[in-house]
Amino acid sequence: MKAFFGWLDQRTGYRKIAREALFENVPGGSRWRYVWGSTLTFALGVQFITGIFLWMAYSPSSQTAWESVNYIQNDMAGDGCCGALHHYTAQVMTVLLALHLMQVVIDGAYKAPREVNFWFGLILLQLVLALSLTGYLLPWDQKGFWATKSGHEHHDRRPIRRA
């Protein structure tokens, strides 16, 4: 096994990258408030892993979507643990996004030379919020219909003209 990891390190340099990420010098010392970005990254990893397993059991057609979600929640191995973990991690990610954004703004981490990193973070924020809305639609049920409709109504507002 040691030979394999040595071979992999020669080709990718993963040990140096991991060392720099794990032992990064934090100006002013480490604080508990710096943990939000790391927990957000962990939650995103959980979302990817559980999402792949759920994706393998989901059937995306209007005739079979509800049945596949019912199967995932009630009959799939693990008693719906994967779906519940995915659901609750998505809820926690919204809170973590807000906490991380507050920490970045309070610390001024959006200023030069990190402004491009901040812009990228804002794009990821919008992407995560959009994906959390789309998860409601997957079962093709009334809850998904009305959640999606109310999310889209915000964009369809037009001024009312009175005669």
**Dihedral angle sign, alpha carbons of residues 124, 126, 129, 135:** negative
CA distances from 138 to 102, 131, 149 (A): 31, 11, 14
Query: Are 138 and 69 a contacting pair, CB within 8 Å?
Result: yes
Q: What is the pLDDT along the chain (163 residues), one digit of tens a residue?
A: 999 999 999 999 999 998 987 887 777 777 888 889 889 999 999 999 999 999 999 998 888 988 998 898 888 887 678 988 999 999 999 999 999 999 999 989 899 888 998 999 999 999 988 888 788 788 888 888 887 777 666 555 555 565 5
**Do the beta carbons of residue 121 and residue 104 sit within 8 Å?**
yes
